[in-house]
Structure 1
Amino acid sequence: MAALQASSLLFASSGSLSSRCHRGTIAATIKPPRLQTSTLHLPIPKLSTGGLAEEMELRSITVTTIRNTPTSSAEINTTTTRPEPEANDSDPKVIKKVYAIMEAVADRVEMHRNIGEQRNNWNCLFLTSINTITLSAATIAGIAATSAVGGLRSPILSLKLASTLMYLTATGMLIIMNKIQPSQLAEEQRNAARLLKQIHGEIETIISCGNPTVSDVNEAMEKVLAVDRAYPLPLLGVMLERFPSMVEPAVWWPQPRRRTANSKELGVKLDCNGWNRGLEEEMREVVGVLKRKDKADYLRLGGKALKLNQILAITGPLLTGLAAVGTAFIGSPFHGSWAAGLGVVAGALASIVNTVEHGGQVGMVFEMYRSNAGFLKLMEESIESNLNESELGRRENGELFEMKVALQLGRSLSELRELAASSARKGEMGEEFASKLF
């Protein structure tokens, strides 16, 4: 009230007051009078010149208090301390572990690639060497048989010995080659290099997205170790069985773990997470087609390739062994006629069988069918693990998952939905294969 009275006195004693109006705005210029203390003794209260500054400072403190939300008033007066890291900040140790795993995976990729090339060279060198030895032994056996017919007894023994030793050498090399199956070994290393390269890309994606967690580290470790178990590098002791009694899909992934709900990562509400009843029915139909058609077909073809490889693996050494026995009896008065034919013909047949088995890379074909069946099995488990999860928030995002399934099968989204609709209408009668990729 005293300030209001002082303000009115100042306006009343003002000598000049000029005002100007322009486009609805009013500008006023006030010239306060010079007060002389000797003549004027009015009780004018002192105006506080620092009130505005104090008010602005108070507002600044209020805004800062609201933003910082201290738990007590004592926190305002404390000294400046380092702010605590936010919840989404990554632990430096976790990042170092992720990079260490990525470096190990890159080293494994190069290792499997180099060893795969080496074992592919084994297949070519073994094939060429064994065929050369076998055909040379057959030629020498024929020369020995001709010398025996002509009555030349002196060179027969040396020719017989040379041909027999060459056949025995070819038999031993064939047994070793059929045991390790170099073409199948090379295919295993190619698959391992491809899978490890895929894991390397997934780790790079995790790092680029930021904020890797301990769960990401453990999952990457499990994937790498699962590939090591599925495609071992050593040959002795841990080599995969080459002629199993039953054809089963290759397994190179760890057991699926329950996903944790993370709405910030998914970017959607956890109540739906991109899933609906229609998408669930579509995925169930896709799983049914994969089991009935694709995986069953690859296992059937893998079984045929395995049987053919078994027959050829037994026939090759058997023929070279018989050829060695035949050459040993060349020139004999009782068995000379059939021994010469056995030594030459069996050697030629052994060369043909060896070319079909290892030149045609039947072991590699079997491993390819087995790995394809494993890829389809992985898709089945991935789809079923999402469908069996009752909490939608713990599933992988439905729209993203549908796109992944379509790409893995070499289909567009519309083609995938048409496949599911066709399977629902026709059932097992006349349905097509799910995969168009291979």
Structure 2
Amino acid sequence: MATFRASSSMSSSSISSSSCHRRKIIRATINMPKFQNSTVSLPNLITGDLVEQLKLTSSGYTNTTTTHIQKLPKSPSNSPNTSPKYDSMVSDPLAIAKLYAIMEAVEDRVEMHKNIGEQRSNWNSLLLPSINAITLTASTMAGIAATSASGSDPLAALKLSSTLLYLAATGMLLIMNKIQPSQLAEEQRNAARLFKQLREEIHTTISIGNPSNKEVRDTMEKVLALDKAYPLPLLGVMLDKFPEKIEPARWWPQQRRRQAKGLGERNDRNGWDAKLEGEMREIVGVLKRKDKADYLRLGEKALKLNKVLAISGPLLTGLAAVGSAFVGSPSHGSWAVVLGVVAGALSSIVNTLEHGGQIGMVFELYRSNAGFFKLMEESIESNLKEREVERRENGELFEMKVALQLGRSLSELKDLVASSTMKGEAMEEFASKLF
């Protein structure tokens, strides 16, 4: 009984003593699992301390935890305990720095193409009304000169002014039809969009991690290919606006052999099987027969129309200048008046159809759409030609990308393949549902 009282007294004393303290330090011990058959020691992995401080305040408890953890040291390449998988997971900081530098350059190009595209779009919207105003003014002067008295001073002034205005309109039209401002603006819009897409690809590569020097080289080639496809300056490197042969636009480098980048380990074929390969071959066939061929055909028609309008406009203003120069001459009769007035009016109509209708932009749109389908063909064929499936892009991921690019769901993509393989019926459906 005495022993119990003594113990109780000591416990009460301990409780009262602890309540007098304002701060109490709690020490914790972390038990790490034991590693069997491993030469790695715990101090080599984590060195540091874990300190928890519990502060008692008038309003309650505040926990402050400080943790010091040393990063894992990079294992030397010649260490016997280093596995190849561990080495593949180590990111190359130099490759990441290079990708960031390329992404900054790409961002700058996006702004450059956007600003220049707006400027060249303004060329089209400003030059067309100006040229039409000059042409109609010259036509009006030629008509007024025809009603004036023969040999008078007002007649000579009107004739000279009309002729000069027609000549100025002819020169401006020649330059405008050569550079095709609406087509230039469409080129810059396409370039800005493609550079934005490339920027997102770089960002995705960095986010996924483990970029290699090969990816850096491939990205550089994509940037240079875009620079070549959509040049910024006009003199010397401007794309031919009236090519002899219609070719799809090309803004990507040559497809090269890929690195082994299998995603997941569901099977040994990286998501590919014989059925998927057959479906991809059928899709390539549809793209060639329908989508790309149709846009090339439409692009050829737009190019022919643009050529006719580009020649007709300056030709009509030139004839109108000749006619206005002979207005009022007794030896030439009324044909000079008709030529000076009617040719100027027709020229305004032709210019409005060509540049107001933006036929050059329509041609570039068809050409770039054909290039989009050409890129899809090469991408699919490069995967199918690669015999080592681990070097291909993952089959499931690639199928989803193809479906999204064509504006279809996976089931609709399979329906397209099924309809293209049906015999006895003409397959009228296009592969793309986007455009």
TM-score, with length taken from structure 1: 0.80
Q: 1:275 aligns with which of 268, 272, 282?
A: 272
**Pairing partner for 1:326 from 313, 323, 339:** 323
Structure 2 CA distance for aligned equivalents of residues 360 and 376 of structure 1: 25
1:20 maps to: none
1:390 is displaced (CA, Å) by 1.1
Which SS does the other structure have where 1:100 is aligned?
helix
Whole-angstrom distance in 2 between the partners of 1:427 and 1:206:
46
Q: Structure 2: which amino acid aligns with 1:436? A: K
- Encode CA deviations 1:337-395: one digit per residue, 9 max, x unaligned: 11011000000000000000000000000000000000000000111111111111111
- Residue 323 of structure 1 contacts residue 347 of structure 1 at CA under 8 Å; is this kept in 2? yes
Q: CA deviation at 1:93?
A: 1.6
Counterpart for residue 215 of structure 2: 216
Deviation at residue 81 of structure 1 after TM alignment: 12
- d(CA) in 2 for partners of 1:178 and 1:313? 6
Corresponding position of 1:68? 40
Gaps of 5+ in 1: 1-59, 70-74
CA distance in 2, matches of 1:278, 1:207: 33
Relative distance call for 1:101 and 1:428 in structure 2 (3 A) is: farther
Secondary structure of the 1:335 match is coil
CA distance in 2, matches of 1:95, 1:418: 42
Partner of residue 192, structure 2: 193
Offset of residue 84 of structure 1: 2.4
What are the within-5 Å matches in structure 2 for residues 406-417 of structure 1?
A: 406-417=403-414
| 1:65-121 Cα deviation digits (max 9, x unpaired) | 71429xxxxx9xxxx998325522222221111110000000000000000000000
- After superposition, the C-alpha distances for 1:385-424 in whole angstroms (9 at most, x for unaligned) are 1111111111111111111111100111111101101100
Q: 2:274, 2:413 → 1: CA distance?
A: 16
Instruction: Name the residue aligned to 1:394.
Output: 391
Structure-to-structure mapping, 1:71-150, within 5 angstroms? 83-85=73-75, 86-87=86-87, 88-148=89-149
| Whole-Å separation in 2 of the counterparts to 1:379 and 1:268 | 26
Letter of the 1:97 counterpart:
K
The alignment status of 1:353 with 2:353, answered yes or no, reads no
Corresponding residue for residue 250 of structure 2: 251
For each residue in 1:138-181, what CA deviation from the matched residue of structure 2 results, as whole angstroms up to 9, or x when unmatched? 01111101114xx4622111100000000000000000000000
Q: Does 1:337 align with 2:339?
A: no
Shift of 1:262: 2.8
The residue identity in structure 1 corresponding to 2:344 is: G
Runs of 4+ residues deviating >2 angstroms? 62-65, 80-86, 268-271
8 A Cα contact 2:261 2:393, kept in partner: no
Q: What is the identity, as a one-letter code, of the residue corresponding to 2:95?
A: V
What is the CA–CA distance in structure 2 between the aligned matches of 1:405 and 1:153, rounded to whole Å?
A: 74
- The unaligned stretches of length 5 or more in structure 2 are 1-31, 45-69, 76-85
Give the CA deviation at 1:426. 3.5
* Contact in 1 for aligned 2:303/2:360 (Cα 8 Å): yes
The aligned amino acid for 2:194 is: L
Quick one: structure 1 residues 205 and 319, their matched pair in 2 at CA, closer, same or farther if it must change by over 3 Å? same
Post-superposition CA distance 1:283-339 (Å, at most 9, x none): 111111110011000000000000000000000000000000000001111114110
Q: Does 1:161 align with 2:160?
A: yes
Using the alignment, how far apart are the partners of 1:64 and 1:192 within structure 2? 58
How far has the Cα of 1:238 moved from its partner? 0.4
Select 1:289's aligned residue among 276, 286, 289: 286
Instruction: For residue 269 of structure 1, report the CA deviation from its aligned partner.
Output: 5.3
* Residue matched to 2:428: 431
- Matched residue count: 367
In structure 2, the partner of 1:362 is 359
Q: Which position in structure 2 is the counterpart of 1:303? A: 300
Q: What SS does the aligned partner of 1:68 have?
A: coil
Q: Aligned partners of 2:110 and 2:140: how far apart in 1?
A: 45
Q: Go from structure 1 to structure 2 and tell me whether the alpha carbon gap of 1:287 and 1:82 turns closer, same or farther (over 3 Å shift).
A: closer
How far off its partner does 1:64 sit?
A: 8.0
- Aligned to 2:370, which of 363, 369, 373? 373
TM-score, normalisation: structure 2? 0.81
1:236 equivalent to 2:235? Answer: yes
